[in-house]
């Protein structure tokens, strides 16, 4: 799997041109996205124009940036100049085109990256499955009979398949970390509000964030730095104070995840966060209320045009009383203060990212507390309470060659991304985490 940093190094050293790189990726996407159902639009003209701009900068002796010539894709809720921002919905397929790129796309472009595709998602980002009425279901490149997770499933699947070096998604309650876990990638939910949301179609403002999917921690660090505007330094630190989250986290986890957590941090303190089930319930309520009210006008005009699975949940959100929403927000404030105080004693908290491997497309259910539950709503059981706190959380892939992927969450202090990257780099160097290509990997070679 070719890393973004390798492509950028080769382009800047003139071993290959950005145009050559882009043409290889365009050809692969045009020919076949491996039956993934991951791509919604391929941006041929734009990609070729931007590749030419990078090549011209290099020919003139200018450094086009740390992501020079690297193709990437974005979840289909980022503004792309000249295209309607659909948020995965037929309702906005013919909307007025965006006048400018989302701020995140602008920053990546300034760093030399080349936008090449928009990617599939759950309609309006409301789900953990990427089952989309307009664009179909995104499938997992490790087993096409299984889901890729969601709602940023297209972004995860296309990177895991080796068809793009990185992609952007959004994460409200786990929509980056869940598909990262199920497809075997690194996926970041940053400290809430730290990465630019301008030009991103909202879902629930209380929790919405953007973040990258990558195949290495070095790429994650680089792309986060570009988006954040602050360089994440590479630390040689080898000592970290680590704790594991207890309670419902180990109760709903794969045995391999529990073994990996013990191997990573033997003898680590176990923290049982109080009211964790209540926190998840409050997160559900806040999400439903904010999502329902965001779409209230459209629901009143064209309710039947919504994906039925999305429509019913949004309609339910419009019925939640404001007093109940305010009570959930008040509890959230108290819970955040308590958890932030706990986290202050540690560099990293460890938890499973998803409770299981990717469920089957034909039977999208998972076992939670011994009961089969819909994957679309319950794959985020471990990520949703962390979103509730606004803390940064990095999903990292366990080493599982030949088996379906599974991820762990590394959770940090507020603005603690650099520490999470340093800890993950140490684990990656020790061989405890890292990406593995799918069984029939056919990614791009440079």
**Which are the catalytic amino acids?**
75, 151, 175
Give dist(CA 243, CA 347) in Å, integer: 8
Q: Of 162, 135, 156, nearest to 34 (Cα)?
A: 162
Residue 128 burial (CB < 10 Å; 0-12/13-18/19+)? buried
Q: What is the DSSP letter of 358?
A: P
**What SS3 class is residue 237?**
coil
Q: Of 309, 327, 319, 331, nearest to 385 (Cα)?
A: 331
Count of alpha carbons within 13 angstroms of residue 184, beta-carbon side? 23
Give dist(CA 403, CA 142) in Å, integer: 9
Strand ranges inside 15-126, DSSP E? 39-42, 71-75, 114-119
Take residue 321 and report the two structure tokens written for it. 């009383």
Cis bond leading into 47, ω under 30°? no
Four-CA torsion 36, 225, 86, 71, nearest 10 degrees: -50
Give dist(CA 195, CA 211) in Å, integer: 8
Token match 């391929």: residue?
A: 42
Measuring CA to CA, how many Å separate 240 from each of 244, 265, 348? Answer: 13, 10, 7
Measuring CA to CA, how many Å separate 75 from each of 5, 53, 70, 291? Answer: 21, 24, 17, 18
260 alpha carbon, distance to own chain's centre = 22
Give dist(CA 329, CA 285) in Å, integer: 9
């Amino acid at each position: 799997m070719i890393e973004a940093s390798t492509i950028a190094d080769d382009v800047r050293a003139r071993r290959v041109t950005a145009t050559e790189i882009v043409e290889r990726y365009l050809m692969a996407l045009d020919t076949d996205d491996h039956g993934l159902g991951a791509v919604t639009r391929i941006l041929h003209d734009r990609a070729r124009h931007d590749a030419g701009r990078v090549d011209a900068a290099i020919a003139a002796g200018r450094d086009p940036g740390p992501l020079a010539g690297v193709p990437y894709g974005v979840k289909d809720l980022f503004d792309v100049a000249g295209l309607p921002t659909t948020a995965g919905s037929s309702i906005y397929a013919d909307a007025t085109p965006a006048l400018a790129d989302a701020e995140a796309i602008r920053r990546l472009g300034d760093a030399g990256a080349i936008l090449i595709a928009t990617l599939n998602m759950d309609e309006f980002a409301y789900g953990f499955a990427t089952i989309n009425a307009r664009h179909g279901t995104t499938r997992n490149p490790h087993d096409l009979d299984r889901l890729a997770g969601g709602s940023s499933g297209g972004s995860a699947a296309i990177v895991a398949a080796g068809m793009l070096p990185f992609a952007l998604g959004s994460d409200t309650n786990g929509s980056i970390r869940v598909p990262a876990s199920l497809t075997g990638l690194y996926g970041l939910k940053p400290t809430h509000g730290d990465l630019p949301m301008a030009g991103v179609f909202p879902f629930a403002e209380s929790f919405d964030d953007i973040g990258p999917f990558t195949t290495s921690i070095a790429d994650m660090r680089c792309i986060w730095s570009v988006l954040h505007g602050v360089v994440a330094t590479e630390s040689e630190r080898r000592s970290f104070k680590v704790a594991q989250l207890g309670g419902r986290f180990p109760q709903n986890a794969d045995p391999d995840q529990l073994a990996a957590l013990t191997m990573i941090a033997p003898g680590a303190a176990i923290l049982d966060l109080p009211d964790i089930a209540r926190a998840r319930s409050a997160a559900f309520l806040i999400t439903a209320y904010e999502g329902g009210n965001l779409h209230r006008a459209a629901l009143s005009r064209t309710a039947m045009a919504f994906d039925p699975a999305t429509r019913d949940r949004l309609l339910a959100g419009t019925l939640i009383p404001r007093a109940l929403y305010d009570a959930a927000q008040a509890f959230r404030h108290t819970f955040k203060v308590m958890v932030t105080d706990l986290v202050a004693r540690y560099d990293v908290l460890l938890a499973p990212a998803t409770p299981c491997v990717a469920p089957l497309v034909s039977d999208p259910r998972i076992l939670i507390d011994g009961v089969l539950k819909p994957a679309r709503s319950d794959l985020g059981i471990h990520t949703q309470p962390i979103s509730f706190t606004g803390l940064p959380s990095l999903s990292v892939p366990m080493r599982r060659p030949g088996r379906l992927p599974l991820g762990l969450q590394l959770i940090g202090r507020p603005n603690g991304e650099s520490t999470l990257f340093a800890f993950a780099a140490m684990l990656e160097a020790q061989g405890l985490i890292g990406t593995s290509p799918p069984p029939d990997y056919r990614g791009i070679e440079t």
